[in-house]
């Protein structure tokens, strides 16, 4: 086994978060497992979510949905980023629900036999996906050759609970659903809530809530909603790596490319066997790893395959020791939130960018 870096994925925490979100909303949960389950492992996380009681799965890409079907998963799956020209035949063959956001895609789907399953995507104010300018023309379509399973939209500012745009989007959603009903289209499933709305906006629950980042135990926005602990969520991923090398260096030693950092004392440096090719942000500052029961900050630039941390002059670490890059913070380690802030980004990007070179260990109570 190659032991260099690993992401330990606690599937029991997936189950705990799913049950927490179900209890909050009181409606079925669509577990969002796009982008390799936010970097956590597509198939094992999908299975764990369904076993925990999720009613369906949501992905961005058709190929993600097909992978789930080929893994033996039979529950409903919605793929929502399937543009015109996609392999709609494969979607139908695998009984995958497809989001429709344009007349072009709709016309291609209507050419298929056996009434393919679709969810109509509405633009209610985000100006991203969904029908907007084509909406009046779309309402004149012949819907007899498709099965309209659902209708949905997406919040732009659900992580700002007091923002009036949230209410405006709900009102627009209801209006567009009513316009569908007026032409005889009455989808069985209406869904609007993402993780933030599931946690904070009961008026947006409708028939299903789509839970992405919260399912993985992370806050949709630490500054406006609070951290994982405050939201009763359990972070699922612990990322750890080995110290490739530990060495003592003198004061005044330049560290890393560009000599952007210089030691101010004699100290021990640890070379962590991960880099930006593994998803460690090159821009990261004011973060590091947890080892010897304390935090060891990054010193110098992150390289492609490794980065250096200042272990301190009294460190007992040796080459080959494991260090925690991030975890749930319960022992004082850095969190995905910390890494997001240190990289001028968000926790979503930190977990989803963990590369394929990092082994995933997916099991209940794995850390």
- Confirm whether 268 is a catalytic residue: no
- Residue 194: name the closest of 157, 164, 236, 151 by CA: 157
d(CA 84, CA 109): 9
Which residue out of 38, 205, 257, 348 is catalytically annotated? Answer: 257
DSSP string, 109-120: HHTSSS--EEEE
DSSP string, 51-105: HTT--EEEESSHHHHHHHHHTT--S-EEE----TTS-HHHHHHTT-EEEE-SHHH
Asked whether the beta carbons of 243 and 270 are under 8 A apart, the reply is yes
- Confirm whether 257 is a catalytic residue: yes
Compute how many other C-beta atoms are within 10 angstroms of the C-beta atom of residue 90: 14
Q: Is the dihedral of CA 240, 244, 248, 249 positive or negative?
A: negative
d(CA 217, CA 160): 19
Which residue out of 34, 190, 200, 242 is catalytically annotated? Answer: 34
Per-residue HEC secondary structure of 46-64 comes to: HHHHHHCCCCEEEECCHHH
d(CA 301, CA 285): 9
Exposure string for 178-217, b = 16+ CB within 10 A, e = fewer:
eebeeeebebebbbbbbbbbbbbbeebbbbbbbbbbbbbb
Considering only CA atoms, give the Rg of the chain: 23
Q: Which residues are catalytic?
A: 34, 257
């Amino acid at each position: 086994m190659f032991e260099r870096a690993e992401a330990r994925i606690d599937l029991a925490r997936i189950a705990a978060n799913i049950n927490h979100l179900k209890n909050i909303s009181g409606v079925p949960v669509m577990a969002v497992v796009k982008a390799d389950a936010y970097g956590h492992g597509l198939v094992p996380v999908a299975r764990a979510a369904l076993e925990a009681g999720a009613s369906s799965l949501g992905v961005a890409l058709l190929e993600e949905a097909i992978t789930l079907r080929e893994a033996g998963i039979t529950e409903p799956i919605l793929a929502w980023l399937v543009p015109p020209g996609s392999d709609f035949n494969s979607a139908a063959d695998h009984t995958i629900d497809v989001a429709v956001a344009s007349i072009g895609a709709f016309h291609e789907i209507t050419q298929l036999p056996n009434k393919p399953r679709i969810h109509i995507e509405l633009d209610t104010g985000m100006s991203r996906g969904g029908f907007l300018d084509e909406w009046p023309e779309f309402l004149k379509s012949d819907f007899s050759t498709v099965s309209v399973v659902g209708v949905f939209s997406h919040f732009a500012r659900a992580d700002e609970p007091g923002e009036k745009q949230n209410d405006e989007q709900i009102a627009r959603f209801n209006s567009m659903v009513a316009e569908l009903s007026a032409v005889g289209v009455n989808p069985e499933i209406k869904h609007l809530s993402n993780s933030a709305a599931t946690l904070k906006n009961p008026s947006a629950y409708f028939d299903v809530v789509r839970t992405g980042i919260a399912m993985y135990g992370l806050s949709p926005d630490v500054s406006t909603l609070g951290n994982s602990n405050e939201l009763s969520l359990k972070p699922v991923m612990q990322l750890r790596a080995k110290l490739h090398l530990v060495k003592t260096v003198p004061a005044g030693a330049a560290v890393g490319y560009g000599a952007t950092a210089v030691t101010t004392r004699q100290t021990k440096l640890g070379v962590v066997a991960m880099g930006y090719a593994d998803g460690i942000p090159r821009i990261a500052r004011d973060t590091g790893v947890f080892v010897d029961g304390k935090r060891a900050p990054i010193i110098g630039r992150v390289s492609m395959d490794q980065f250096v941390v200042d272990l301190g002059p009294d460190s007992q670490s040796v080459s080959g020791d494991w260090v925690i890059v991030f975890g749930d913070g319960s022992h004082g380690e850095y969190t995905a939130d910390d890494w997001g802030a240190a990289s001028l980004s968000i926790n979503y990007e930190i977990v989803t960018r963990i590369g394929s070179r990092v082994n995933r260990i997916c099991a209940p109570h794995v850390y």
